[in-house]
């Protein structure tokens, strides 16, 4: 599974020959990206500007299973850039100044159970997984690997 510009989830039910599409009407989390790209882009600065705008819109990460709580979690993000943000010499896109992070919770049939903004998380999302009933996010702490652990009550 990869990242998605839409909150819809393709699900293959046991015994089914084709994937079904689950769509959602979230109250809090934006449903999908709205940016459109021209067919051809020949200017690097235009491409950088469009890609930066695209990352400012919602990006849905793949759902992941929490065995303890019997639910799927899905994190989503919208990156925020400073007005004058420019890529560093060895970067294609500028670094975001902060991020809006959202959590969606689904039951085992991928029905939306809950959604929330996570104001305590303000950085671009890193790798994450569920373990022991919590969400674990990798965090670089002075070049050492650490984790941010989120306990979810819903």
Mean pLDDT for 86-108 is 93
Q: Band the pLDDT of 102: cuts 50, 70, 90.
A: very high
For residue 22, give the nearest of 117, 110, 150 by alpha carbon: 110
pLDDT, position 109:
93
- The mean pLDDT of the chain is 92
Q: Which residues contact 123 (CB under 8 A, 6 or more apart)?
A: 98, 99
Q: 36-61 b/e with 16+ CB inside 10 Å = b?
A: eeeeeeeeeeeebeeebebbbebbbb
Task: Kindly list the domain boundaries of the chain, sorted by start residue.
Answer: 9-125
Q: What is the pLDDT of residues 1-58, one digit of tens each?
A: 456 788 999 988 888 899 989 999 888 888 889 888 999 999 988 998 899 999 999 9
pLDDT, position 147:
95
């Amino acid at each position: 599974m990869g990242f998605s510009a839409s909150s819809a989830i393709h699900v293959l039910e046991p015994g089914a020959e084709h994937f079904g599409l689950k769509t959602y009407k979230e109250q809090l989390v934006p449903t999908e990206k709205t940016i459109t790209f021209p067919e051809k882009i020949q200017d690097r600065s235009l491409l950088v500007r469009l890609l930066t705008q695209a990352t400012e819109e919602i990006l849905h990460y793949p759902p992941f299973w929490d065995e303890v709580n019997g639910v799927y979690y899905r994190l989503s993000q919208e990156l925020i850039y400073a007005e004058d943000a420019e890529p560093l010499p060895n970067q294609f896109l500028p670094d975001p100044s902060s991020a809006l992070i959202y959590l969606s919770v689904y039951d085992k049939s991928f029905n939306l159970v809950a959604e929330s903004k996570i104001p305590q998380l303000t950085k671009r999302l890193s790798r994450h997984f569920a373990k022991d009933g919590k969400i674990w996010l990798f965090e670089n702490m002075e070049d050492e690997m650490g984790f941010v652990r989120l306990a979810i009550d819903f």
